[in-house]
Amino acid sequence: MTSLDELEQRAKKLLDPVHYDYFAGGAGDEIALADNEQAFRRLALLPRVLRNTSARSIATPLLGDPGSMPMFVSPTAFHRLAHPEGELATARGVAAAGLILTASMAATVAIVEVTAAAREIDRDARVWFQLYLQPQPEVTEEIVRRAERAGCTALMVTVDSPAHGRRTRDDRHAFTDLPAGLYAENMRGLPGVTESEVRQIGMSSDFTWDHLDRLREVTRLPLVLKGILHPEDARLAIDHGADAILVSNHGGRQLDIAPAALDALPAVVAAVAGRIPVFVDGGVRRGSDVALALALGATAVGVGRPVLWGLTVGGDKGVTGVLDTLRSDFEHTLTLCGIAELSELNAGLVVARGAAARC
């Protein structure tokens, strides 16, 4: 596997075109979607030379959970559209790579099965759970309890979705429902429906920071707020008990005029001022992207769509292959940049592409 772009093209040939567009598409004119990748291409890293990098370690604990590098898998929905085993294969592939999987609330496999699959590969595998706050507090609490019972070690709370994004490709295909036999299994048998029924995931524009306070009272799990772009929201997140922030524009799938996540990262890092970890996702396609994000202050980087392409093409081994490719490229980038310790990645090494000669 030499290029994740080539892998995507292989996956595209295998997927139903409707399902490929669901995974690959973004909101509106897909400006934010494209800008996530382009933001990395606008920057360069100034390499240092004649520095011994032979003893470097890239292992990075996140919220107390071990990780083989400063990267995790961001939540994406409906993996059984990509592979018959869905999130079970994803969990095994991520565990084999020694990374943390964030399982989506909209998974097509229940969270208890996802964590069990990961721990078949590595009994110490860590799984986080992505949560949309639900309009009914009792539904939110039951979903949280299921994640706790399944052994999840953190909750990633998506806060950028008061309504569904308007996704042109999905509208074109009239894609609103999963194929027969596939369901968002984490929504099955919740309060208000029978044991066999599956609730719809609810969105609401009524949510405020008070709802996060209530969630903080419901669980002791670390809370990662996903979808922070404004520095003031980063400060409020800390005030309301967040344990980490994920700078994200939802993969370009919500607000099409939102900035690229990488462009928003430095201001959020400055606002947080080291008080809690700051993660970023969106547009990561090479290990050099991981290095750039860390240099701009990220603690770790999330990867999303490439995992789906690996899952489509090769199941759990394809997932592991994607993550191993990113790890190898990241380490190669560090070597060529003369980085002996991850702490040496800093904003002083980042320049606008074409501006290095003026440094």
Q: In this structure, what token pair is assigned to residue 172? A: 């074109």
Distance CA 1, CA 325 (A): 7
Rounded to an integer, what distance in angstroms lies between the CA atom of residue 213 and that of residue 107? Answer: 26
Which residue, 119, 128, 120, is CA-closest to 100?
128
Query: Cα angle at 300 between 122 and 81, to 5 degrees?
Result: 60
- Tell me how far apart the alpha carbons of residues 94 and 121 are, in angstroms, rounded to a whole number: 9
* Vertex 62: Cα angle to 211 and 137 (nearest 5): 20
Q: How far apart are the C-alpha atoms of 32 and 39, rounded to whole Å? A: 10
Whether 250 is catalytic: yes
Q: Which helix (H) or strand (E) holds 352?
A: strand 350-352
Q: How far is CA 334 from CA 86, 265, 276, 281, 302, in A?
A: 33, 21, 25, 20, 18
Q: Are 86 and 313 in contact (CB under 8 A)?
A: no
Burial class (CB in 10 A: 0-12, 13-18, 19+), 266: middle
Question: Alpha-carbon distance 175 to 293, whole Å?
Answer: 34
116-131 CB burial, b ≥16 within 10 A, e <16: bbbbebeeebbbbbbb
**Cα 332 from Cα 275, distance rounded (Å):** 30
Q: Which of 211, 230, 250, 332 is catalytic?
A: 250
Helix 287-295 and helix 31-41, axial crossing angle in degrees, nearest 10: 80
**For the chain, what is the radius of gyration of the CA atoms?**
19
Catalytic residues: 250
